[in-house]
Structure 1
Amino acid sequence: MAANNNAISPSQNIPPFAGFNYQFWHVKMKTLLVSCDLWELVENGFVDPADSEEVPRLTATQHNELKEKKKKDAKALFMIQQALDEAIFPRVTGATTSKEAWDLLQDEYQGSSRVVAVKFQMLHRNFENLRMKASNTVQDFFTKASSLMNEIWSLGEDLTEQKIVEKVLRSLPPRFDHVVAVSLKICPNIH
Structure 2
Amino acid sequence: MSVPIFSGQNYDYWAIKMKTYFQSQKLWELVEEGVTLPEDSSTSSSAEKGKLENKKAKDSEALYYIQTAVVDHIFPRISVATSAKEAWSILQKEYQGSTKVRIIKLQTLRRDFENMKMKDSETIDEYYTKVRELVNQLKAYGEDIPEKRVVEKLLISVTEKYDPIVTTIEETKDITTLTVTELVGSLEAYEKRRSRREENSLENAFLV
Q: TM > 0.5 between the two?
A: yes
Q: 1:67 to 1:163 in 2, by over 3 A?
A: closer
2:134 alignment partner AA: L
What residue in structure 1 maps to residue 145 of structure 2?
A: 159
2:92 alignment partner AA: Q
What residue in structure 2 maps to residue 92 of structure 1?
A: 78
Return the structure number with greater helix share.
2
How far off is 1:116 after superposition? 1.6
2:102 pairs, out of 112, 116, 123, with 116
What residue in structure 1 maps to residue 22 of structure 2?
A: 33
Q: Which is further off, 38-47 or 139-148?
A: 38-47
What residue in structure 2 maps to residue 150 of structure 1?
A: 136
Q: List alignment gaps of at least 5 residues for structure 2.
A: 177-208
What residue in structure 1 maps to residue 60 of structure 2?
A: 74
1:126-185 residue CA offsets vs partner (Å, 9 max, x unmatched): 212222111111211111111111211222212233332222222222211211221222
What residue in structure 1 maps to residue 120 of structure 2?
A: 134
Q: 1:136 to 1:46 in 2, by over 3 A?
A: same
Aligned-partner SS, 1:179: helix
Q: 1:64 to 1:122 in 2, by over 3 A?
A: same
2:29 alignment partner AA: E
1:15-42 residue CA offsets vs partner (Å, 9 max, x unmatched): 1011121122112112222222222222
1:156 alignment partner AA: G
Aligned-partner SS, 1:158: coil
Question: TM-score by structure 1 length?
Answer: 0.81
What is the correspondence of 1:95-106 to structure 2 with a 5 Å cutoff? 95-106=81-92
What residue in structure 1 maps to residue 203 of structure 2?
A: none
Identity across matched positions, percent: 41
CA distance in 2, matches of 1:36, 1:161: 25
Does structure 1 retain, via aligned residues, the 8 Å contact 2:151–2:175? Answer: no
CA distance in 1, matches of 2:168, 2:160: 14
Q: 1:187 to 1:71 in 2, by over 3 A?
A: same
Aligned-residue CA RMSD in angstroms? 2.2
What is the correspondence of 1:7-18 to structure 2 with a 5 Å cutoff? 12-18=1-7
CA distance in 1, matches of 2:37, 2:4: 29
Aligned-partner SS, 1:68: helix
Q: Which is further off, 161-170 or 86-95?
A: 161-170
CA distance in 1, matches of 2:46, 2:150: 53
Q: 1:175 to 1:59 in 2, by over 3 A?
A: closer
How far off is 1:188 after superposition? 7.4
How far off is 1:47 after superposition? 3.4
